[in-house]
């Protein structure tokens, strides 16, 4: 009995120190008490709570999550069926960024206590971060049912999630408003909600720092802003946002490695911080450090597997690396997630381009372009790409039909008329091809490709040398770097008999082609040799 009284006295002293903000001394007293009573589960729990509170203190530089987890685990050895200890372990793992372990302990907590409102809430919080909204709402409803008056946080998160679904079929405005009202009403009874509010309010003291830093950055006093952020970090080393602002400031003066270190520091403080990971990804992409970008996007996807943008960005990086197979896989995942039709249409079109250009899989490209057109039937570029894929496959009938459909959407699109002219030219319908190229030029008087192709038709198919020269000159005027137009104009001049001008144009074509690689250099050399045979 005396031992019980002594332990209670110690616990009361620890609680007073904790409430007085003297966490370090409370930890020391708890550790001392555990030396005398090493199997006391309550003391291990209290010490774990103290470590967790100290970890969350932005004014201390060290992490204490592993210490908290160790104490909770020791407490669990004495009481394996404790719902509360499993809940506390889940919270510690949540702050550590190990969400699967956190979910596992929350699930065990709920198994032992079907009315553990906080375990339901924390599970919902993780699901909401992963964009698993339906599951999150289900757990929040259970948290509300079992929490009584102490579930302000559950009502508020439920309000936010329902609001995001306001445009869906299951919209319930009354339910949204009700949850907002109840979240406000129950704050007085929910200590954890009060703590979160007080913590957020305490961050307001840093607002002048951020405002001053923003002003310094905008007035090109970035180095002063950096000094300001560093000075503030020394006072509050656990305040994550300071590291992000410092990283952004370093980035402005191209100190990318320093920026990376600050973003990593932010992630060290909160392994689940989305913005820090996204900033890190963008700077890796800027550096061309694709392997690190891939690794970081992998972590973002692990935290939020239903975010199509992460999958799309990762696909872009794999494509830049030349890993077409992985790029295709992630593009397909992004398309399946389909956050909205227009965005998904762009991704489907990108996937079509990869199949078309990189893999020369025309059927897959056509399928992707067709999916894109169904999602956004007014995007002319999709029809142009689809028509090109049909053409390259040799399916001229469908290519023609596709270009005709594109003209219905945008009859004044020069590119469509130019592509249609090329298709008709390939089919031998010369007169119609000429008309389409003339329409393209009328719509775009600087359309270099249309001038060049029309010039070649006049030169090779109709034998109208002067008309060919006129159009090919306009092609070169529209694009002074156009090697193919210079080559074709050289051919026209050679036929006309002006070998000196033809030789000059062939040489220009050769010089330009060294930069543009439009054609086989040997073909130009052959034409030069033919002039003097």
Domain ranges of the chain: 2-201, 202-306
Backbone torsion region of residue 236, taken as left when φ is above 0, otherwise alpha when ψ lies between -120 and 50, otherwise beta: beta
Which pair of tokens denotes residue 327?
Answer: 């790029």
Q: Does domain 2-201 have CATH number 1.20.120.1730?
A: no
Q: ∠ CA 326-332-335 to the nearest 5 degrees?
A: 145
Owner of token pair 């703590």: 195
HSE-CB at 128 with a 13 A cutoff on CA atoms is 22
Q: pLDDT (tens digit, 9 = 90+) per residue, 476-507?
A: 999 999 999 999 999 999 999 999 999 999 99
Is residue 339 classed as helix, strand or coil in its secondary structure? Answer: coil
Distance CA 65, CA 93 (A): 8
Confidence band of 255 (pLDDT split at 50, 70, 90): very high
Fold of 202-306: 1.25.40
* pLDDT above 90 for 359: no
* b (16+ CB within 10 A) / e for 117-137: bbbbbbbbbbbbebbbbeebb
Q: pLDDT (tens digit, 9 = 90+) per residue, 257-288?
A: 999 999 999 999 888 899 999 999 999 999 99
Alpha carbon separation from 125 to 115, 154, 239, 344, 449 (Å, rounded): 17, 9, 21, 28, 56
pTM: 0.76
Is residue 278 classed as helix, strand or coil in its secondary structure? Answer: helix
Which pair of tokens denotes residue 430?
Answer: 């010369």
pLDDT at 385: 93
Q: Same topology for domains 2-201 and 202-306, yes or no?
A: yes
Distance CA 525, CA 517 (A): 14
Is residue 521 classed as helix, strand or coil in its secondary structure? Answer: helix
Distance CA 340, CA 15 (A): 52
Owner of token pair 């503030």: 232
Which pair of tokens denotes residue 399?
Answer: 């290519």
Mean pLDDT of 13-29: 79
Mean pLDDT of 343-355: 92
Confidence band of 3 (pLDDT split at 50, 70, 90): low
Q: What percent of the chain has pLDDT over 70?
A: 97
pLDDT at 133: 87
Distance CA 90, CA 82 (A): 12
Is residue 312 classed as helix, strand or coil in its secondary structure? Answer: helix
* CA torsion, ordered 185, 191, 197, 201, to nearest 10 deg: 130
CA-wise closest residue to 343 among 313, 382, 376 = 376
Contact (CB, 8 A) for 166 and 158: no
Distance CA 373, CA 381 (A): 9
- Helix (H) or strand (E) holding 285, with range, is helix 274-287
Distance CA 113, CA 408 (A): 64
HSE-CB at 476 with a 13 A cutoff on CA atoms is 18
pLDDT at 169: 45
Mean pLDDT of the chain: 91
Q: What letter does residue 187 receive in the DSSP assignment? A: G
Contact (CB, 8 A) for 39 and 78: yes
Confidence band of 168 (pLDDT split at 50, 70, 90): very low
Owner of token pair 């943008």: 309
Residues in the chain: 533
Strand residues in 146-289 grouped as ranges (E): none
Confidence band of 26 (pLDDT split at 50, 70, 90): confident
Is residue 459 classed as helix, strand or coil in its secondary structure? Answer: helix
- The terminus-to-terminus CA distance of the chain in angstroms comes to 118
* pLDDT above 50 for 390: yes
- Sequence-ordered list of residues with C-beta below 8 angstroms from that of 461, at least 6 positions apart, any chain: 425, 430
Q: pLDDT (tens digit, 9 = 90+) per residue, 95-122?
A: 998 999 999 999 999 999 999 999 999 9
The alpha carbon dihedral of 143, 149, 152, 156 has a sign of: positive
pLDDT at 249: 96
Q: What letter does residue 250 receive in the DSSP assignment? A: H
Contact (CB, 8 A) for 53 and 45: no
Neighbours of 364 (CB within 10 A): 17
Q: pLDDT (tens digit, 9 = 90+) per residue, 203-237?
A: 889 999 999 999 999 999 999 999 999 999 998 99
pLDDT at 506: 92
pLDDT at 6: 66
């Amino acid at each position: 009995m005396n031992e019980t009284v002594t332990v209670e006295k110690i616990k009361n002293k620890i609680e007073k120190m904790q409430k007085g903000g003297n966490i370090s001394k409370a930890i020391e007293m708890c550790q001392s008490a555990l030396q005398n009573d090493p199997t006391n589960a309550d003391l291990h729990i209290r010490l774990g709570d103290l470590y967790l509170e100290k970890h969350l203190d932005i004014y201390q530089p060290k992490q204490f999550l592993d210490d908290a987890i160790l104490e909770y685990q020791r407490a669990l050895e004495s009481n394996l069926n404790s719902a509360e200890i499993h809940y506390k372990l889940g919270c510690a793992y949540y702050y550590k960024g190990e969400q699967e372990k956190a979910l596992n302990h929350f699930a065990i907590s709920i198994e032992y206590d079907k009315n553990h409102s906080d375990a339901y809430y924390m599970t919902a919080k993780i699901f909401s971060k992963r964009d698993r909204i339906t599951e999150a709402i289900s757990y929040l409803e259970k948290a509300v049912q079992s929490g009584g008056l102490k579930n302000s946080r559950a009502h508020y998160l439920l309000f936010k999630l329902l609001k995001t679904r306001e445009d869906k079929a299951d919209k319930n405005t009354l339910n949204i408003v009700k949850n907002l009202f109840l979240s406000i009403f129950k704050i007085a009874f929910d200590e954890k909600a009060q703590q979160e509010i007080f913590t957020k309010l305490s961050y307001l003291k840093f607002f002048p720092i951020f405002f001053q830093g923003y002003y310094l950055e905008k007035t090109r006093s970035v180095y002063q802003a950096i000094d300001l952020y560093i000075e503030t970090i020394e006072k509050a080393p656990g305040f994550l946002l300071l590291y992000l602002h410092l990283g952004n400031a370093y980035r402005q003066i191209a100190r990318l490695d320093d920026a990376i270190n600050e973003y990593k520091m932010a992630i060290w403080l909160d392994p689940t911080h989305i913005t820090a990971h996204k900033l890190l990804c963008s700077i890796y992409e800027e550096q061309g450090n694709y392997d690190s970008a891939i690794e970081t996007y992998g972590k973002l996807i692990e935290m939020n597997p239903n975010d199509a943008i992460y999958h799309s960005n990762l696909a872009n990086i794999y494509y830049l690396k030349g890993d077409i197979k992985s790029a295709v896989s992630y593009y397909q995942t992004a398309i399946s997630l389909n956050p909205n039709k227009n965005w998904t249409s762009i991704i489907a079109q990108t996937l079509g381009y990869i199949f078309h250009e990189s893999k020369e899989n025309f059927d897959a490209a056509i399928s992707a372009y067709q999916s894109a057109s169904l999602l956004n039937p007014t995007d002319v570029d999709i029809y142009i790409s689809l028509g090109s894929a049909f053409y390259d496959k040799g399916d001229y009938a469908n290519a023609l039909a596709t270009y005709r459909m594109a003209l219905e959407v945008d009859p004044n699109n020069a590119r469509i008329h130019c592509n249609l002219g090329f298709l008709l030219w390939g089919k031998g319908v010369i007169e119609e091809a000429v008309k389409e190229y003339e329409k393209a030029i009328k719509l775009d008087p600087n359309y270099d490709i249309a001038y060049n192709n029309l010039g070649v038709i006049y030169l090779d198919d109709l034998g109208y040398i002067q008309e060919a020269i006129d159009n090919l000159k306009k092609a070169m005027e529209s694009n002074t770097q156009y090697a193919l137009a210079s080559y074709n104009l050289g051919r026209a001049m050679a036929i006309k008999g002006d070998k000196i001008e033809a030789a000059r144009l062939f040489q220009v074509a050769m010089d330009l082609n060294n930069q543009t690689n439009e054609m086989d250099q040997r073909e130009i050399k052959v034409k030069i040799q033919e002039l003097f045979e």
